[in-house]
Amino acid sequence: MTIKASMTIDKEFKIGEIDNRIYGSFIEHLGRAVYGGIYEPGHPEADEQGFRKDVMELVKELKVPIVRYPGGNFVSGYNWEDGVGPVAERPRRLDLAWRTTETNEIGTNEFMDWAKKVNAEVNMAVNLGTRGIDAARNLVEYCNHTSGSYWSDLRIKHGYKEPHKIKTWCLGNEMDGPWQIGHRTADEYGRIAVETAKAMKWVDPSIELVACGSSNRHMPTFAEWEATVLEHTYDHVEFISLHTYYGNRDEDLANYLAQSLDMDQFIYSVISIADYIKAKKRSKKTINLSFDEWNVWFHSNEADKKIEPWTIAPPQLEDIYTFEDALLVGSMLISLLKRADRVKIACLAQLVNVIAPIMTENGGEAWKQSIFYPYMHASVFGRGVALNAIVSSPKYDSKDFTDVPYLDTVSVYDEESEAVTIFAVNRHQTDVMSLDADVRSFEGYRVVEHIVLENDDVKATNQHNHTNVVPHNNGDAKVDGGKLEANLPKLSWNVIRLAK
């Protein structure tokens, strides 16, 4: 069977300029993300600093522009001073967030080196759980001040003459969550966040700051939390954060694939709250969104309960992703792009081994999970201006959602290279979607390629020794007389690339 959908895309239907940081990711001191992930001295692929070159190559393939670090829940118990200076003198600490032992072999300077090697900026989080203003302003001084002060000179003594010039900083992590070390009420967090923000910007006025929003839309404090935090911090921060993770826990695929509608709702709500505070304060400033943790996370939940406490770099949060997960990740990317006017930073959580597109074996290979592909396609081809498609699609209802369009789509126009890319998911479980698109505003354009990620088995996965989920570029999209026609296979992620 075939269902029909149609849409119009026009270069004038601009949502907004895409900030490249929307394709960011995240490395936390958690599980095998750092140790055994990006860093494994003694591995045949390790470079002179112990960083795995095979992993770096995959990160570069993803064109990751910014990486959040060092947490996550980890940051709320972290003493950044433990991770700088001679490695042999660094203390081992209990990490209360993940109940492991942290060796501190890798710290701020080494991570900055790694980020440079993969061409990424760093989005640095400060500890507002067990620490506060002093540790945060010292870290900014250590990283960003040129020289002539205690902390900047210490960095130089540690072998880093040039400042790291970190632009984007997070004021803590998920401070609304009872699981967080140093969990606070919205007022408590708002007060510490604004005072920390002021001190950090007194050290370096060029930095941009992210205040913690809710850990997800279903937190009991959601909405009130954002409003209260922004009441306190509005004039001193640039972003409010959002986090969300989904999972197909009930084996209900129709409902699972609709979960990006929850993400849409979350984004729209946070924009409304930020603008409500703007109105209340009669402010000229607009607060943007940093969706700095998003992904699918549920496969590893049971296995993680069996991990021996206080081990070093155990295999934690190692979700093995299925084909259906890749479809939802594709839709989540579409959700971010649909509000590219306000979502200016986003971080796929995470990047290596821990709920990640890249997996490694200790001592062995590095390989791509199913979710690697939609993330890579969006990051590589989704730069420019996001365009709002006017869509007409049949819809369905699921357990938690109504009016879910079978066609989920957004387009991106790169004015410089004059390239247009249509990202589209067909959520239908049995039917091909015949898509007609009016592309008259792109006169003289042709289809460069139509990439498709499809699979007959929604539970298909990639593992180190087999690759089942991999895209092909045999899609049938064609353009004729300003009309694009394409068949989107049942349950598929599509990337239709047009150029002159």
- In this structure, the number of other CB atoms found within 10 A of the CB of residue 179 comes to 10
Residue from 238, 264, 293, 408 binding ligand AHR (CB under 6 A): 293
Q: At what angle do helices 323-338 and 372-381 cross, to 10 degrees?
A: 30
DSSP sequence for 373-427: HHHHHHHHH--SEEE--EEE--EE--SS-SSEESEEEEEEEETTTTEEEEEEEE-
Strands 93-95 and 66-69, bridge-based pairing = unpaired
The answer to whether 293 is a known catalytic residue is yes
- Pick the closer one to ligand AHR by CB: 28 or 204: 28
CB 97, min distance to ligand AHR, A? 7
User: Minimum distance from CB of 438 to ligand AHR (Å)?
Assistant: 41
State in angstroms the smallest separation of the CB of 351 from ligand AHR: 11
Options 65-73, 157-165, 273-281, 406-414: segment touching ligand AHR (CB under 6 A): 65-73
| Among 66-74, 78-86, 323-331, 464-472, the segment contacting ligand AHR (CB under 6 A) | 66-74
Query: CA 249, 74, 123, 121: dihedral to nearest 10 degrees?
Result: -90
Contact status, residue 109 vs residue 70, Cβ threshold 8 Å: no
Inter-residue contact 498 to 448 (CB < 8 Å) = yes
Contacts (CB under 6 A) with ligand AHR, residues 397-416: none
Does residue 296 bind ligand AHR (CB under 6 A)? Answer: no
Amino acid, single-letter form, for residue 316? Q
Instruction: Compare residues 24 and 72 and give the one whose CB is closer to ligand AHR.
Output: 72
Which residues, numbered 168-227, are part of the site for ligand AHR (CB under 6 A)?
A: 173-174
CA distance 460 to 376: 19
Catalytic residue among 174, 208, 238, 324: 174
Q: Which DSSP helix (H) or strand (E) runs through 241?
A: strand 239-246
Cβ count within 10 A of residue 162: 9
**Cα atoms found within 13 Å of the Cα of residue 347, Cβ hemisphere only:** 31
> What residues does 467 pair with on adjacent strands?
462
Q: Which residue is nearest to ligand AHR (CB)?
A: 72
Residue count, binding to ligand AHR (CB under 6 A): 9
Specify the pairing of strand 343-348 against strand 24-26: parallel
Give, as ranges, the residues between 232 and 271 that touch ligand AHR (CB under 6 A): none
Q: Work out which of 31, 70, 72, 182 binds ligand AHR, going by CB under 6 A.
A: 72
Q: Which stretch binds ligand AHR (CB under 6 A): 71-79, 80-88, 204-212, 359-367?
A: 71-79
Task: Between 349 and 425, name the residue whose CB sits nearer to ligand AHR.
Answer: 349
Contact 229, 221 (CB under 8 A): no
Q: Which region among 54-62, 69-77, 137-145, 219-227 touches ligand AHR (by CB under 6 A)?
A: 69-77
* Stretch of residues binding ligand AHR (CB under 6 A), selected from 68-76, 121-129, 266-274, 365-373: 68-76
Q: Does 360 bind ligand AHR (CB under 6 A)?
A: no
Give 18 or 212: the residue with its C-beta nearer to ligand AHR: 212
Quote the least distance from Cβ 290 to ligand AHR, whole Å: 13
Residue 349 as a binder of ligand AHR (CB under 6 A): the answer is yes
The angle formed by the CA atoms of residues 215, 350 and 158, to the nearest 5 degrees, is: 105
Contact between 71 and ligand AHR by CB under 6 A: the answer reads yes
* 368 DSSP assignment: E
The H-or-E segment that residue 478 falls in is strand 478-480
CB of 103 to ligand AHR, least distance (A): 18
Q: How far apart are CB 29 and ligand AHR at their closest, in Å?
A: 10
DSSP of 325-348: HHHHHHHHHHHHHHTTTTEEEEEE
C-alpha span between 81 and 301 (Å, rounded): 32
- 307 DSSP assignment: P
Minimal CA–CA distance to 82: which of 107, 62, 46, 65?
107
Cβ 275 to ligand AHR, closest distance in Å? Answer: 26
Residue type for position 335:
S
- 3-32: which residues touch ligand AHR (CB under 6 A)? 28
Choosing from 350, 409, 411, 461, the residue that interacts with ligand AHR (CB under 6 A) is 350
Closest CA to 258 of 407, 378, 398: 398
Least separation, in Å, of the C-beta of 323 and ligand AHR?
22
Angle at 353 between CA 349 and CA 356, to 5 degrees: 35
70 binds ligand AHR (CB under 6 A): no
Name which of 127, 122, 94, 98 is nearest 109 in CA terms. Answer: 122
Residue 68 or 377 having the CB closest to ligand AHR? 68
- Per the annotation, the verdict on 174 as an active-site residue is yes
Give the interface with ligand AHR as residue ranges (CB under 6 A).
28, 71-73, 173-174, 293, 349-350
Residues belonging to the active site: 174, 293
